[in-house]
Amino acid sequence: MVLFRRRVDVLRLSVALISTAVIVEGLAGLTTGSLALVGDAAHAVLDMLVTAMLLAAVTWAARPPDMDHTYGHGKVESFGGLFGGLALTSFSAFLVYKAVNRLLSPFEVKPGLIGVGAALYTLCIDVVRIKVLSGVSTSLAVRADRLHALSDFASTLIALAGLLLAHFRFYYGDSAASILLGAMLTYLSLGLIKDAFRDLSDRVSPAYVEAVKAVILGSDGVSRLHKLRVRRVGDETFMDASIEVKGGQTVDQAHLIASRLEERLRDRFKDVSAVIHVEPSKDMDLRELARNVCLSVEGVKDAHKITVTNVNSKSTMSVHVLVDPKISLSEAHKIADLVETRLREEIPSLTETLIHIEPHEHGVRTADYAEEAEAKRALRKVMKQRRFRWVRSIKVSSIFNVEGRPVYLVKCLLDGSLSVYESHRLVEKVKEAVKKAIPSAEVEVHTEPI
Query: Of the ranges 34-48, 211-225, 284-298, which is most confident?
Result: 211-225
Is pLDDT of 158 > 80?
no
**pLDDT category, 393, cuts 50, 70, 90?**
confident
Backbone angles phi, psi at 328, to 5 degrees: -75, 165
**Which pLDDT value is given to residue 196?**
77
Which segment of 132-141, 320-329, 356-365, 420-429 scores lowest on mean pLDDT? 132-141
Of 105-114, 161-170, 291-300, the least confident: 105-114
Cα atoms in the 13 Å half-sphere on the side-chain side of 232: 20
Distances (CA, A) of 189 to 36, 157, 240, 335: 18, 19, 32, 59
Region 398-409: mean pLDDT is: 69
- Find the length of the chain: 450
Rounded distance between C-alpha atoms, residue 308 and residue 330, angstroms: 26
Assign 6 a pLDDT band (cuts: 50, 70, 90).
low
Asked if 163 contacts 109 with a C-beta cutoff of 8 angstroms, the reply is yes
CB atoms within 10 A of CB 314: 11
Structural domains for the chain? 2-199 (1.20.1510.10), 206-279 (3.30.70.1350), 286-359 (3.30.70.1350), 368-449 (3.30.70.1350)
Q: Tens digits of per-residue pLDDT, 347-381?
A: 877 888 888 888 887 655 555 555 566 666 766 66
pLDDT, tens digit, 9 for 90 and up, residues 28-64: 777 777 666 677 777 677 777 777 777 777 777 666 6
- Distance from the Cα of residue 221 to its chain's centroid: 19
Whether the predicted model's global pTM rises above the 0.85 cut: no
Say if residue 276's pLDDT is above 80.
Answer: yes
- 391-402/405-414 β-pairing: antiparallel
pLDDT at 111 over 60: no
At 289 the pLDDT is 79
Amino acid at 81: G
Q: What is the overall mean pLDDT for the chain?
A: 75
Q: What is the mean pLDDT of residues 175-184?
A: 75
Residue 108 in this model has a pLDDT that exceeds 70:
no
DSSP category for residue 137: -
Instruction: Name the percent of the chain in helix, strand, coil, to the closest 5.
Output: 55, 20, 20
Q: What are phi and psi of 145, to 5 degrees?
A: -70, -35
**pLDDT surpasses 80 at 295:** yes
| Class of residue 201 by CB neighbours under 10 A (exposed 0-12, middle 13-18, buried 19+) | exposed
Rounded Cα distance between 143 and 161, Å, is 27
